[in-house]
């Protein structure tokens, strides 16, 4: 794929007037109170208005609807009564939201018809709306396919195709529907793909259906407001000790410690383990099997602290973390936003702790500039240990030798643990089956005993070998 990544707003002008938009559109944007482009708009609009295909990593609230709505509207011929723009969305709510925003953006152009179509309601009204003429259709893949098959939706004149929240659509099992729809769009179309994450499936979709897509990634600024960021000035030599103090003070159930180098990762993880803290390192040189084992243990709550470099943590799909600790300040302010975005997801509050040596102060300035606010500095002396003894994760992981190749399934293991050995369901955590191994998270208080029972008992009628990791 011929791609380039563009950092948001780095050098580009952020005034809408710097774009080649119709004067009436510019006026309308002003009337809507859109004075400056958001970062995703600034990074993508110069490309999309020039007709390029685009893959944009952006989530709701970033201004992504205008990022695809404006190029879509710019290419539209309102005097031609054909569906020229098609937006695929995962849900009815999003389809409604997108249609509303496009209608607002289209106020400058006369009589642009935007029709929404989605499942769960009768087709009658949707068909009537389509028959009345539509320039733009926004809807969910299943219903769109249905209406095409009935011959009431003609997509042979589509000029702009948008896949919105593509990762969510794939999660919901829409891959086949999407490909069926896309295949019926003309090849000359422009394709814009928006997604909060970039899993393999999206890559597959992009390779199949997009022409030299440009990639645009923008740090999720808005999420940063829910994350409490604390900054501590710490001499480089004392950083590892201060991480130990932070963990003792805040006692986060799970945290990621980011380092700029592999060596720093090794130093931190060695010290944490020496202090009796359950920590594992994730850096580039690990073999796939080792990497899998580290991630399984972290995800199943058998490991409290993951110590990682940015490269190793890239694409890591882990749920919300209690805390992110930056042992080193990253020289790239966008990377900082990505790092701290691993805490404070959904409704949760986030905590990001930053250790700064004197020579890293210029990096802090860059981060402040990007975030548009000053840092809150605190004293290391305030980090006193909270009561509760050593910080231990709630679970431990038992590895069973044997996995998919031996046809072991999660249900077989759960059956052995509960029905045969008499454990309660809530004493057993996540069960991950790999090709050659199965990893079972169990309440740490029963780990040794459960492992012995596995070694002496049977799974799926066969004896197995197990060990506590
Ligand atoms: P979205 O991420 O598309 O859901 O947009 C989030 C909100 O930001 C919507 O309410 C938009 O109306 C608004 N919005 C989008 N672009 C801009 C802009 N450049 N300036 C101000 N508000 C905007």
Residue-wise pLDDT for 339-370, tens only, equals: 998 888 766 789 999 999 999 999 999 898 88
**What confidence category does residue 335 fall into, taking pLDDT thresholds of 50, 70 and 90?**
confident
Question: Is the model's pLDDT at 115 over the cut of 90?
Answer: yes
How close is the Cα of 368 to the center of ligand 1, in Å?
23
- Residue whose CB lies within 8 A of the most ligand 1 atoms, among 57, 63, 103, for a mutation test: 63
- Kindly report each contact of residues 260-263 with a partner whose C-beta sits within 8 Å and lies 24 or more positions away, as own/partner: 260/309, 260/310, 260/328, 260/330, 260/331, 261/309, 261/328, 262/309
The phi and psi torsions of 356 (rounded to 5 degrees) equal: -125, 120
The Cα–Cα gap between 165 and 56 comes to 10
Distance of CA 467 to the CA centre of its chain: 33
34 lines ligand 1 (CB under 6 A): yes
Are both 2-217 and 227-382 of the same fold?
Answer: yes
Q: How many CB atoms lie within 10 A of CB 81?
A: 13
Does ligand 1 lie within 6 Å of residue 427's CB atom? no
What average pLDDT score do residues 52-56 get?
96
Give the percent of the chain with pLDDT over 90: 72
From residue 456, alpha-carbon distances to 207, 229, 416, 420, 467 in Å are 50, 50, 12, 12, 12
Q: Which atom, in ligand 1's list, is nearest to the CA of 38?
A: 19
Average pLDDT over the chain, rounded to whole? Answer: 90
* For range 457-462, the mean pLDDT: 90
Written as six digits, the tokens of 257 are 């410690």
Which residues contact residue 31 at a Cβ distance below 8 angstroms, ignoring those fewer than 6 apart? Answer: 107
Q: Ligand 1 centre from 65 Cα, in Å? A: 7
Cβ of 64 below 6 Å from ligand 1: yes
Q: Measured in angstroms, how far is the CA atom of residue 235 from the centroid of ligand 1?
A: 42
Using the predicted structure, report yes or no on whether residue 3 has a pLDDT greater than 50.
Answer: no
- Residue 66: CB within 6 Å of ligand 1? yes
Which two three-digit tokens encode residue 318? 């882990």
> Tens digits of per-residue pLDDT, 364-411?
998 988 877 789 999 999 999 999 888 899 999 999 999 988 899 999
Structural contact between residues 429 and 444, judged by C-beta atoms closer than 8 angstroms: no
Atom index in ligand 1 nearest the CA of residue 60 equals 2
Task: State whether the beta carbon of 264 lies less than 6 angstroms from ligand 1.
Answer: no
Of the options 3.40.50.300, 1.10.730.10, 3.40.50.10950, 3.40.50.2000, the CATH number for the domain spanning 227-382: 3.40.50.300
pLDDT value, residue 197: 77
Ligand 1 centroid–CA 37 distance in Å is 9
Q: How far apart are CA 294 and CA 276, in angstroms?
A: 17
Mutate to test the pocket of ligand 1, among 18, 21, 65 (most ligand atoms within 8 A of CB): 65
Q: How many CB atoms lie within 10 A of CB 380?
A: 16
Alpha helix locations (H) across 118-211?
124-131, 141-149, 166-171, 175-183, 200-209
The phi and psi torsions of 11 (rounded to 5 degrees) equal: -120, -25
Tell me what pLDDT residue 346 has.
Answer: 67
- Measured between alpha carbons, how far is 138 from 118 in angstroms, rounded to an integer? 8
Q: Tell me how far apart the alpha carbons of residues 278 and 392 are, in angstroms, rounded to a whole number.
A: 7
Q: Is ligand 1 within 6 A of the CB of residue 63?
A: yes
Q: List pLDDT tens digits, range 238-292.
A: 999 999 999 999 999 999 999 999 999 999 999 999 999 999 999 877 787 888 8
The residue among 94, 87, 97, 90 whose CA lies nearest residue 167 is: 90
Domain ranges of the chain: 2-217, 227-382, 395-468
Name the pLDDT band for 173 (thresholds 50, 70, 90): confident
Q: Kindly give the distance from the C-alpha atom of residue 309 to the centroid of ligand 1, in angstroms, as a whole number.
A: 33
Distance separating alpha carbons of residues 321 and 258, to the nearest angstrom: 13
Q: Give the ligand 1 atom nearest the CA of 33.
A: 21
Measure 338 CA to ligand 1 centroid, in angstroms: 21
Q: CB of 41 closer than 6 A to ligand 1?
A: yes
Q: Is the pLDDT of residue 4 over 50?
A: no
pTM: 0.55
The contacts of residue 429 (CB under 8 Å, 6+ apart) are 300, 301, 302, 395, 440, 441, 442, 443
Residue closest via CA to ligand 1's atom 19 equals 37
Q: Which of 224, 233, 236 is nearest to 324 (CA)?
A: 224
Select from 158, 154, 118 the least CA-distant residue to 138. Answer: 118
| Domain at 395-468: CATH code | 3.30.70.330
C-alpha count within 13 angstroms, C-beta hemisphere, residue 72 = 33
Q: Which fold has domain 2-217?
A: Rossmann fold (3.40.50)
pLDDT tens by residue, 199-226: 788 999 999 999 999 999 875 554 446 7
Separation between Cα atoms, residue 313 and residue 455, nearest integer Å: 34
Pocket lining: 96 vs ligand 1, CB cutoff 6 Å:
no
Distance CA 372, CA 340 (A): 16
């Amino acid at each position: 794929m011929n791609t380039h990544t563009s950092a948001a707003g780095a050098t580009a002008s952020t005034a809408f007037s710097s774009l080649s938009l119709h004067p009436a559109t510019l006026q309308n944007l002003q009337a809507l109170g859109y004075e400056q482009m958001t970062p995703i708009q600034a990074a993508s609009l110069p490309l999309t208005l020039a007709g390029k295909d685009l893959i944009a990593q952006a989530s709701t609230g970033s201004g992504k609807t205008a990022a695809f709505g404006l190029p879509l509207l710019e290419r539209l011929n309102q005097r031609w009564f054909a569906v020229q723009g098609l937006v695929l969305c995962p849900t009815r709510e999003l389809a409604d939201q997108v249609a509303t925003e496009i209608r607002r953006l289209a106020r400058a152009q006369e009589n642009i018809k935007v029709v929404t179509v989605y499942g769960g309601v009768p087709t009658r009204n949707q068909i009537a709306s389509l028959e009345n003429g539509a320039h733009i259709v926004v809807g969910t893949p299943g219903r769109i396919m249905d209406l095409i098959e009935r011959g009431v939706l003609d997509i042979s004149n589509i000029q702009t195709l948008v896949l919105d929240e593509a990762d969510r659509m794939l999660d919901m099992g829409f891959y086949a529907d999407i490909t069926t729809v896309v295949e019926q769009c003309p090849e000359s179309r422009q394709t814009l793909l928006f997604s909060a994450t970039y899993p393999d499936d999206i890559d597959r979709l992009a390779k199949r259906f997009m022409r030299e897509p440009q990639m645009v990634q923008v740090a999720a600024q808005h999420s940063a407001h829910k994350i409490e960021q604390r900054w501590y000035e710490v001499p480089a030599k004392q950083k590892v000790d201060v991480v130990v103090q932070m963990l003792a003070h805040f006692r986060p159930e799970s945290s990621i410690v980011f380092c700029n180098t592999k060596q720093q990762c090794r130093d931190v993880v060695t010290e944490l383990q020496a202090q009796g803290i359950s920590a594992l390192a994730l850096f580039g040189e690990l073999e796939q099997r080792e990497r899998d084992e580290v991630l399984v243990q972290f995800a199943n709550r058998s490991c409290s602290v993951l110590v990682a470099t940015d490269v190793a943590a890239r694409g890591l799909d882990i749920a919300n973390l209690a805390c992110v600790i930056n042992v080193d300040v990253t020289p790239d302010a966008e990377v900082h936003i990505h790092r701290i975005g691993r805490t404070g997801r959904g409704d949760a509050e986030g905590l990001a702790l930053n250790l700064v040596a004197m020579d890293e102060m210029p990096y802090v300035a860059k981060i402040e500039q990007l975030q548009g606010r000053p840092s809150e500095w605190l004293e290391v002396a305030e980090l006193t240990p909270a009561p509760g003894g050593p910080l231990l994760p709630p679970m431990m992981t038992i590895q069973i030798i044997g996995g998919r190749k031996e046809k072991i399934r999660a249900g077989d293991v759960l059956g052995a643990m509960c029905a045969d050995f008499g454990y309660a369901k809530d004493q057993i955590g996540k069960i991950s089956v790999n090709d050659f191994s199965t990893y079972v998270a169990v309440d740490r208080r029963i780990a040794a005993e459960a492992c012995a029972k596995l070694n002496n008992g049977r799974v799926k009628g066969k004896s197995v070998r197990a060990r506590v990791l």
